[in-house]
Structure 1
Amino acid sequence: MSKLIGFTNNGGNDWFNSSPYGNKEIQGIPDPEGGHALNAPTSIPSPFARMDLVRKSFENIIESPNLLFLQERNRVIASKEDEKLVSQCLDLCEILFNYNIYKNKIEIIEWDKTVQIDNLKRSIDKGHRRLGEALELFLLQDAKSFNFNEVRSFYLIKYNHQVIGGTSPLTLFFSVGKDISNLELKSSKGKSFFSDIVPLYERDENFQKYLYLLFKSNAELGSKMKAFQEYLVKSLKFLGSINQALFSELNTSNPSDLNNNYVSLNSNKAGQVVEVLGVHLKTVDPNVLIKSIQKSDFIIYSTKIDDKLKPLVLQNSFNSKLNYINANWDTRTTVPYKAEKENLELRKLPDQDVIYPYLTVSDFFEPNIIRLVYPINDTKYFDGNLKLNNPEDTKSYLLPLKPLFFKYFDTEDLINGGLGKPTILIDETSVGHAIRVQLKIPINLGKDYITFERVYHNDGIADEVVNKGAIKEHQFALTLFPHIKYLSGIDPYYKIQLIDRDVAIKTADAEYFLNFYNNNSSSPVDIEASKNRSKKLKGDFSKITSTYYGLNKNFDYIQVDNGFAKGVIIPKWDNPKTGLDQFNFAIDFGTTNTHVEYTVGNSSPKTFEITADEIQAVPLINDKIDHNFSGTGAIDLRTNKIREFIPEIITKDTMYNFPHRTVISQSLNNPPPMGGNTLIDFNIPFVFEKNSDNNSRFFTNLKWDSRETNNEHRVKAFLEQIVLMIRNKVIINGGNLEETKILWTYPTSMTPSRKNNLRMIWDELYHKYFNKNNNTVDISESIAPYHYFKGSAKLEGLGSGISVLMDIGGGTSDVVVYKKNMPLLLSSYKFAGNTLFGDGYKDFGDIANNGLVNKYKAQFNDILENTNPTLCGIANSFYENQKSADYNTFLFSLIKNKEVLDKELLDYNKKIANDNDLKIIFLYFYCAKVYHIAQLMKINELALPTNIIFSGNGSKILNIITPNQKLLGDITKNIFLRGYNLDSYLPDGLKINLEKEFPKELTAKGALMYNKLGHEDVNLDEIKQVYTCLEDENKCSLLNAELDEAVLDKVAEKVKTFNNLFIDLNNDINFFDHFEISHVSFAKFQQIVNKHLKAYTERGIEYNNKMETGNAQPQVKIAETLFFYPIVETIQQLIQNLSIISANED
C-alpha cells in the first residue's frame, strides 16, 4: 500500500507537482511534543541558521497575546522552544545592558567577517579553507534576507571562556544551541538567565526603557528586525494592562534620552563599540548603576558617614518587600554570614554580579563572646540590654561587636536607641545556656531594620561561615578614672586599670590588650603610657596581672583583646556640669599623714571626699549586686582595684578617707627604674594599714627622704594623684578649672632648696591640670592652723594677747608666736611624732630593738591573730619593713579601722596612756617643746602667752599625757615661769586650745581661712628664729662651719639645764600624783637623761645632713635648733630602758 510522505494536502500518484512550504504549511505541521520541547528536534547546520531560528521564534511568539507559550487545541502557536529562544535573546541583551555588573565573567569578542573569512581561505589547512568558503557562501546567499550586507562584524559573547551567544542582524542577539541553563547568572529581579522564561514586560524597567529607546532612536532597526519590532509593540500593549506608569513613560520617552542616559557598549578591545547593523549598542553608565543601587531600600541608614558608596545591609530570610536593586528582595536570596572578601569594596552583591559594598553578620559580630564572672555595672557601662533566664545569675557579657560597627554608628546611638538607631539585645536561649545576640541595623532612611543574629554556644568552637559563635569565659576587670566625658576645651586625662585573673589551664596564657576608640575615627586613640605592675604565675591562684594605661584624649569605647576573644566595653559616661563655681583646695602634705580641705565659693572648709554621687574611679564590676564571682574565687578582681588604684568612695564613713598616710606604692617585682607615671607605676595605696598587698612595695617618709633613689618622682606621683582627684571633683561638680586655687603648706624648717623643689612640682601640676598662667600658693604650716582658731573665735581674748601656735606633725613641728593676731616669732624643727615612735638616728630602721614596739607587738599579734588574720599579716609586714614609725602608726590606725569590731582591745593610744612606765617620756617630750619656745620668747622679750594652740596629728600625744587640759596648762605655766624667772602668771591665765577629734585637719582648714579672709603681709624669713643655745653669747644664728666642739658643749649644757628643770618640776607638780608616772620610771629617767648629750648632738647633725643633701654647706646657716638633737636620742634610750621595767620593780 502506498504512503504519502509530506505535510501538504496535495495528493497524487508517482511524481506530481507540489508547491514549497509556506508559513501556513509550516504551522500545520503537527508537533509530536505538543510544543513543549525545549530543544530543537534537529541540529542547526550553521550559526546563521541559528539566527534564523531565533527570528522564527520571535515571529511565533508574537502570535501569543502574552508573548508566552500558546497552544490552541492541538495546534501549537508558540512553542516552549520559541519561548526559550526569545527569552534567551532578551537575556543576552539584558546582560550586556548591565555589562558593568557582569563584566568580570563576560567577554565580548569581535568577529570581522571580511578579515576572518580571508584568514580562513588563506589557511594552509584545507578544512579551514572549506569553512571559509562555506561561510562566505552563506553570507553572500543570504545577504539581503539576513541583512548580512549591512554587517561588518559579529560579536561573540563568552561566559567563563565559553561562547553562549552573539549579535544578530535579525534579532539583536542569538543564543547558542547547547544547554546554557546552568550558568548561575541572575537578573536584578532575581531571575536566572537562560533558565527562567521572562517576557520583556516582566523585566527590569530600566532595561525596557533602553530597548524602546534603542528602536525609537534607530528606525532602521525596526524595519530590518520586523519580528523583534513587533514583539516590542505587543509587549508594550500588554504592559499597559499591568504597569500603566511605565507604559506611559515608554510612550512618551524622548529618543535623545538614549545617549543622555546610557553609554556605548565596548568589546574587550579597548575603545571598540559593539554595534548591530551600524547601530551602537548601549549599556548602563557605571555611575547610573551605582546611583540605582544607592536607591535601594537596603542602604544602611547612618548619619555618620558620607561615603560615596554607602553599603547595603543584607540578611538571610528577610521577607519584607523592599527594593533591592530595581526590584523587590527575593526571600530565596542567600546572604553569606561571612563574606568571601574582607574588603567591602570588592564584594559582589548576593544574587547579583555587581561589585558593591554590603554588610553581613560577621562584619559586625565577633566569632566569640566574652563571658564575665560578675555582673556588669550597668548604670555606668552598657550591658547590651542583657536579659537572662535567671535574674539572679551573676554573669554578664562584653558586646561582641567589631570596630567596623562604630564606623556607621556612635556609641550613644546604641545606648539610647530610638527611631532610626541601631539596637542590640543579648539574651539567653532555652537550650544549653547558649547566648543569642541580635543587632538591628536601620535601613531605608530609618524606616526599616535588618536584624543580624548570632547564637554563641558553650562548646568553645566558633564557625563564622555557618554563623555559629562560641562563649569564652574570662576573669578580668577594668576600672576607668575618671568616668566622665570631658567637655570641649578641657584637656582629658584618663587612667585605666585592667586586672587579669585568667588562671584556668586553657586561658592562663591570655595576654590582654586594650584599644581605645572615639566615635570620630576608626583608628585607636594614642596611648600615652602603659605598664604591667603585677604578673600572674601559672598555678598560683593568688597572683594577678595588672596593667595600667594613660590616655590624654577622649574615647568612647574600648576593645578588649586577650588572644582568645575580643569584645567591646562602652562606658555610659557621666556628663560633667557646666558652671562657674570657684573651688579652693588646701593640701597639707605631711610627713606621716596628708590632708586635703576645700571650699566652694564662700562656704566653710570641708574635708575632701569622693561621695557616691561623684565617684571618679568606676569599675566594670557591679558591686551593688551580691555575688561571689560565680564561684570562681576571683575575689582579687574586686580587691585589687583598690590596692593598686583608687577606691570608688572616699568619705569619713568608709575605710578610706582623709587624712591619709603619706605613702606611695609601686610594683614589688617590676618597679620603674627611674621616673614613672602616676596611677600607672605609682598609686596612693588607700589600703595601707587596712588590707594586705603582697605585690607592692610601699614608701613612707616621702617628704624628707631625699636619699632614696627616685624619691622625687614618688613625691610627684603622690601629689599628682591628689591633684587629679581634685581636678575631677571640680569638673564633676561644675567648677571652673581656671579659677580653681591650690594652696599647699610646708614646714618652716624645710630648707629653701627643698621647698623650691616642692614648689616646682606643685606649679608644674597646677599648670598642667588647671591654669597655665597662674601659680599655686604656699602657706607655712606655722601660720595656717592659727587662722582656724582665729576664724572660729576659739582663742582666749580672741587672740588679743600673746598666743603660741604649736603644730606637731610626724616629722616636723612648727611654732609661731602671735601678738594681737600678728605673727612675731616663728621657729621650725624636726622634733615631732616620729621622735617618739620612730627609730631616732638609725639610718635604716631598727625595729627589732625598739622598746615600744617590742613591748606591745606580741599583745597586738595575739589579738589580731584571733580576730582579724588579715590585719595581723599587715602588722607583720610593717614589722619586716624595719621602720618603727610605720609599725606604730599602723597600731594607732586600728582604732579607726572599720574591720576592727572590738576597738577597745586595740586602742593603742589608750594602752600607752595607761602605761605608767612609759608616760614620762611623753611628758618629757612635751615639756622640751614648751621650754624651747619659752626660751625664744624670753630672748625676744615677749610677754607670757594667754593661749597655746596645738594642731597636727602629733598633738594627739597630749591625750597620752593627760586628758586634763587644766593640768596641762599648769605644767606649761610652770615652765614659762621658771624660764622667765617669775613667781606668778598673768591674771588671764593660760588656755590650752586643742582639737582632739581632728588635729591634723587644722592646717589645711586654716590655710583656706587664711586665704579667704585675707592676711597680713608677713615675711616669714624675717620673723623666723633658730634657738642656737648661744644667745647669752649674742649668737642668734649659726653657720654650719661654726658647729665646733664649743658649740656642741654649749648645746649639751642647755639640754642638761632643761633636764634638771624637768626633774625639778616633780617637786611642784608631782608626776606620780598627777600623771600616774611610776616611781621606778622616774628614777631610771634621772639615771639616763643627762648621759652622752654631746655625742647625741653630733650624731644628730650627721644624720640630718644626710637627710637633706648629704653635705652641709659651710657658709649656710643652720635651719633648725640643735637643742632637740640630743633629746631625740635620749628619748630612744629612755624607751629602750623604760619599756622593760618588770612588774616587781614597781
Structure 2
Amino acid sequence: MRSDSPKTPYRGGRVSARLDVGVFPFYKFEGANARDNGPYYVQLADQNEGTDLAKLNFYQGGQALPTLVPGGTRGVRARQRMGRNPRGPASTYYEVVGTHFDFLEVETPVSGQLSAPATGLLVPRWQVVSPGAQRYTFAVDFGTTNTHVAFATADRPEPQPFRIGTEREMEVVMLNRPLPSSDFVLPKRYGPDSFGMMPLADTVRNREFVPAFIGIEGAESAFPIRTATCESPAFISEGNPLLFGSINIGFYLSRDGFLYNHPEDGRYRTNLKWNTEGGERAAGVERIRAYIRELLLLIKHKVALNEGDVRATQVVWSRPLSMKTVARRDFHDIWYQEFERVFGEEPGQRLADLSESWAPYLYLTDRHTDGGIVPSERDNVVNIDIGGGTTDVLLLRGKKPEATLSFRFAGDVLWGDGAFGGARQQNGLLYYYVARTANKPVSQEAAAAREVVRAALESKASSADVVSLLFNFDKQLEFSRELRSARQLRIVLLLHYAAVVYHVGQVCQARQLAVPRHLCFSGKGSTYLRMLDLDPQLGTLTEIGKLILEFASGQPAPSDFRLTLVSQPKEATANGSVLWKQAGGDAAQAKAPAEFVLPGVLPADAPAGPPQAFTLAEAESDTIEDEVIANARRLVRFITHDSAEIRGLLDELNVEIDPDFVYNFLDGKLKDSLRAGLNSLRDSGTNADDRLPETLFFFPFRDALFQLGRELFKRYYASQTH
C-alpha cells in the first residue's frame, strides 16, 4: 500500500490521503507467549490539507480497544506531537498496551459535502515469533556525552555493538515501498525516495520515532550515540509524557541541522545524566526514564526477532560513583521500573549494575580484547575512565582492588563553556577550529556535515554540543587534525592530562601504593590523548605520565611503566559489563571497593589521620582554599618551569608555551574557579556540614583551563581571523 493510496468513504466515492503509518515493534507472540506482546507504538504522519487531522482506531478480537485510563493495563493512549505546518507532516503517536491489535482503522476528514470522514482498514502482516533458545546479554553505558550498548550471546560471547542490520529485524515498518535491492544498500532502500509523495515522512521517522536500521553501512545512526533526547515544544508543560508522542532518543541529532533553527518543531536536549537536581528535577527524571525505556524496547525487539528468549535476557547498566545519593537512587528505580514495564515481569537477577570504574578494567584484562593487560600480583594497575562529565578511577594493588575515585573533571572541562555557565560558544579550542576552517573548501560529503555544524553554531548550541558534532564528523571535517596545529593552545590538553595523573599519584602516596606499572585510559573523553600525542604509541605521554606520577607520589616508577589507551575507548565500559555478566556476575566485583576521596590539599597540609573529604563549610574556609590552590599551583609550576624533562618533551607534542604567561594567568584564575565550584555545590543543595562527594583538587582547574584556552586564542590567533 502506498502513502497516497485511495480510500473509500462509507457514503461512496474515492478520496486520496497523504498519510503514512509506522509500527514499532513489528512482531507478535501467540498462545501462552502472548503475554510478551507490547507495548506497541504507532506513528501516524499526516500531510493532508485542512484543519482536522486523521486518526487511528485499533481493534483486537473484533472489538475496538478502549482508551487507556490512568492505572489501566489494556488499551490505547494517543498524543499529537506536530500540527499542520509548511515544513513537513503533522504527527500523532499511539501507545497500545496489554495486547497486540489485529487491524487498525484509518479515519481521515474529507472536504466537500460529506459529513462523515473517509475510513479504511490496515491489517498488519505481523512477524509471528516464538521464544528461542538463544540467550542474550546486553550492557548499557549511559554517559554524559555518549551512550553505548553492547551485547553478546551464549554462542558468540565476544561483546559487539548493538546493531539492526537485516530486513527481518527492521525496527519500524511503514507503508513505504523499498527501492530495488540490487541498486542500493539496505538503509537507502527504505530512505526518503521510498516514501513516494511523502519524502519528509522519512525525516519525521528519524527525528521523532525510531530509525529503521542502526550500525550498518548507509544507516543514519550507530552506537555509541549522543546521549540526547528529541522533545516536543510542549514536553515540560503537558505533563505525563508519552514516549514518541512527547519525547524520544535523539538518534537523528547529528543529521538534523534543520531542527536547530526551528525550535517551534522541537529541540534536542543533552546533559541528561546530571540534570536531575534543582528546579528541573521532575523533567530531568522523565527524560532519563524515556531514554532508558526506548533502549529497553530496542533490546527486546532485537531478541524477539533473532531467535532469542526475551524472558532470559540479561541487562547490565553502568553505575556512576560521584552522583548524589538521591540521583543514584533515581537511576536505580528507573532501570527496575522500566525493565518490568518492557519485559512484563520483575527483573530479579536479570538486571544488574556494575561500577563505571570496574567495567573498563574487566575489558582491558580480558585475553580476547586489545587491552593487553595481564593481571599480576606484583604489578599495580590504574584505570582512568574519562567521560564527558566525570572521570572514574580504579586502583588495584596487584590483582586486588584498592580504591575507586570519581570526580567532575572530564571531557566537558576541555570542550565546554566554563564552570560559570556564561555565554555559549566561548571555548578557545572551538574558536580556533571555526576560525581556521570557516572558508575552507570541502568535499560534498563534508559539506553536508558542515551544514549541520553551522546550524548548531547559529542556534547558539553549547560548545560541548558543537564539539560533539565535530568529533562525530571527524573523518569529514578533520577536527582532530586541525587541533594538532594549535601549537599555543595545546597546553590546555596537556594540563588536563597532567592534573588527572598528578591526582592519581597523590592518591597512590596516600594509600601507600607503589606507582603502578600500568596506567590505562578508557572512555570517550580520553580520545583527546591521541590528538595530543603525535606518536601513535603515545610514547611522549607515557614519559610525561611517568614523570608526573613520580613527582606527585615521591616514588620511582617501574622501569617497564606502560600507558594504554584502548582502540575504542567509549566501548570499554559496556564491553566489560557484558564480559562480567557472561562470566556469572561476580557479586564482589559488583560492589567494588569503597570510594576514596582525597581532600585535595598538599600531603603535608592534610589533617592528621586517614584522609577524608572536607565538609562544605571546611572547604570554604580561607585556610583550606589557600592549601588547595597551593597544591594546584605546585602542579602548574612543575609543568611550566620546574621539570626540564617535560619542557624538553613539549616539542614532541607540538606544544609551545610562554611559561611565565601561562603560570601567571592560571595563578590569577585558580581561586575564582575554586569558588565557582563551591558555589555550584551550594546551589545544588549541598549543606554546610555535608562531606563533599569528590576531591577539591580539580575545582581550581575547572574554569581556569577554560579561561586559559580563551585567552590563548585571543593572544595568538584572533588577529589572524580578521
TM bin (shorter chain): 0.7 to 0.9
Which of 529, 535, 558 is the aligned partner of 1:986? 558
Query: Which residue number corresponds to residue 690 of structure 1?
Result: 255
Say if 2:103 is the partner of 1:547. Answer: no
Whether 1:1004 aligns to 2:574 is yes
**1:1079-1131 deviation digits (Å, cap 9, x = unpaired):** 44x5532231222322221111112443xxx2213333211111101111110
Deviations 1:597-655 (A, max 9, x none): 11212522111111223112112112325798799863212221111111100015333
Deviation, 1:578, is 2.3
AA partner of residue 883 (structure 1) = S
Aligned twin of 1:667: 232
Q: Distance in 2 between matches of 1:655 and 1:792?
A: 33
Larger Rg belongs to: 1
Kept in 1, the 8 Å contact 2:382–2:393? The answer is yes
SS at match of 2:29: coil
Shift of 1:894: 1.1
Unaligned segments of structure 1, at least 5 residues? 1-369, 374-395, 403-462, 897-902
Matches within 5 A, 1:456-475: 464=12, 469-470=13-14, 472-475=15-18
- Give 1:884 deviation, angstroms: 1.1
Contact 2:354/2:590 (CA < 8 Å) preserved in 1?
no
SS at the partner of 1:993? strand
Of 1127, 1139, 1145, which aligns to 2:701? 1127
SS at match of 2:213: coil
Partner of residue 639, structure 1? 203
**Structure-2 change in CA distance of 1:558 and 1:1144 (3 Å):** closer
1:604 is aligned to 158
| Rounded Cα–Cα distance in structure 2 between residues aligned with 1:638 and 1:1084 | 53
The within-5 A match list for 1:760-839 is 760-770=333-343, 771-772=345-346, 774=348, 776-792=351-367, 794-800=371-377, 801-839=379-417
Conserved? CA contact 1:799–1:819, under 8 Å: no
- Partner Cα separation in structure 1 for residue 39 and residue 587 of structure 2: 38
Match of 2:186 in 1: none
Rounded to whole Å, the distance in 2 between the matches of 1:668 and 1:773 is: 34
1:566 is matched with 119
Give the CA deviation at 1:1037.
2.6
Which among 126, 134, 147 is matched to residue 594 of structure 1?
A: 147
Question: Match for residue 392 of structure 1?
Answer: none
Aligned residue in 2 for 1:1049: 626
Q: Give yes or no for contact 1:767–1:773 (8 Å, CA) kept in 2.
A: yes
1:616 aligns with 2:171: yes
Would the alpha carbon gap of residues 550 and 560 (structure 1) be closer, same or farther in structure 2, given more than 3 Å must change? same
594, 604, 612: which one aligns with 1:1036: 612
CA distance 1:1143–1:543, change in 2 (3 Å): closer
SS of alignment partner, residue 637 of structure 1: helix
Deviation at 1:668, TM superposition (A): 2.7
Partner of 2:295: 722
Q: In 2, distance between residues paired with 1:855 and 1:1097?
A: 26
Residues 533 and 670 in structure 1, CA contact (< 8 A), matched pair in contact too: no
- Kept in 2, the 8 Å contact 1:747–1:813? The answer is no
- Aligned-partner Cα distance in 1 for 2:197–2:20: 14
User: SS state of the match for residue 834, structure 1?
Assistant: helix
1:910 deviation in Å?
A: 1.5
Counterparts of 1:1078 and 1:746, CA distance in 2: 39
Distance 1:961 1:1091, change over 3 A: same
Verify the 8 A CA contact 2:599 2:614 in the aligned structure 1.
Answer: yes
**Deviation string for 1:559-585 (max 9, x for gaps)?**
111112222222211122422322211
In the alignment, is the contact (CA less than 8 A) between 1:484 and 1:573 conserved in 2?
yes
- 1:611 counterpart letter in structure 2: G
Q: Deviations over 1:320-364 (max 9, x none)?
A: xxxxxxxxxxxxxxxxxxxxxxxxxxxxxxxxxxxxxxxxxxxxx
Aligned equivalent of 2:466: 887
Distance in 2 of aligned mates of 1:796 and 1:600? 24
1:993 CA drift (Å):
1.5
1:1023 and 2:599 correspond:
no
In 1: Cα distance, 2:126 partner to 2:469 partner = 38
Structure 2 unaligned blocks of 5 or more: 68-74, 111-117, 181-188
Amino acid in structure 2 at the alignment position of 1:536: R
Query: What does 1:211-290 correspond to in 2, within 5 Å?
Result: none
Q: Would you say the 8 A contact 1:917–1:1141 is kept in 2?
A: no
- Go from structure 1 to structure 2 and tell me whether the alpha carbon gap of 1:1142 and 1:1018 turns closer, same or farther (over 3 Å shift): closer
Q: Report the Cα distance in structure 2 between the residues aligned to 1:647 and 1:1137, rounded to whole angstroms.
A: 42
What percentage of residue pairs aligned between the two structures are identical? 26
SS in 2 for 1:1055: helix
| Residue in 2 that maps onto 1:1102 | 679
Distance 1:913 1:958 in 2: 11
Q: Which amino acid aligns with 1:480?
A: V
After superposition, give the CA deviation of every residue in 1:708-738 in whole Å (9 maximum; x if it has no partner).
Answer: 3611101100111001111111222232223
Q: Distance in 2 between matches of 1:1091 and 1:628?
A: 55
Report if aligned partners of 2:613, 2:695 keep a CA contact under 8 Å in 1.
no
Match of 1:655 among 220, 224, 240: 220
Mapping 1:388-787, distance limit 5 Å? 396-397=5-6, 464=12, 469-470=13-14, 472-487=15-30, 488-502=34-48, 507-518=49-60, 520-524=61-65, 526=67, 527-537=75-85, 540=86, 542-552=87-97, 553-564=99-110, 565-601=118-154, 603-612=157-166, 613-625=168-180, 634-653=198-217, 654-668=219-233, 672-692=237-257, 693=259, 694=262, 695-706=265-276, 707=278, 708=280, 710-770=283-343, 771-772=345-346, 774=348, 776-787=351-362
**Partner secondary structure for residue 584 of structure 1:** strand
- Give 1:620's aligned amino acid: L
Say whether the 8 Å CA contact 2:517–2:557 is kept in structure 1: no
CA distance in 1, matches of 2:307, 2:151: 15
Query: 520-529 or 708-717: which moved more?
Result: 520-529
| C-alpha distance 963-798 of structure 1, shift in aligned 2 (>3 A) | farther
RMSD: 2.7
Give the corresponding residue for 1:282.
none
8 Å Cα contact 1:372-1:397 kept in structure 2: no
- CA distance in structure 2 between the partners assigned to 1:1063 and 1:1018 by the alignment: 40
Report the residue type matching 2:334 in the other structure.
I
Deviations 1:753-790 (A, max 9, x none): 21111000000011222332516211111000000011
Q: Deviations over 1:37-57 (max 9, x none)?
A: xxxxxxxxxxxxxxxxxxxxx
- Aligned pairs for 1:127-276 (under 5 A) are none
Distance 2:16 2:558 in 1: 78
Corresponding residue number in structure 2 for 1:372: 3
Shift of 1:1065: 5.9
| Counterpart code for 1:1136 | R
| Larger RCO: 1 or 2 (CA < 8 Å, sep 6+) | 2
Between the aligned partners of 1:1058 and 1:803, the Cα distance in structure 2 is 23
Identify the residue that residue 170 of structure 1 maps to in structure 2.
none
Distance 1:478 1:1066, change over 3 A: farther
Which residue type is aligned with residue 266 of structure 2?
Answer: S
Aligned counterparts of 1:1119 and 1:1144: Cα–Cα separation in 2: 39
Distance 2:465 2:36 in 1: 40
1:721/1:371 Cα in 2 relative to 1: closer, same or farther (>3 Å)? closer
Residue 870 of structure 1 deviates from its aligned partner by 5.3
Which one-letter code corresponds to 1:804 in the other structure? V
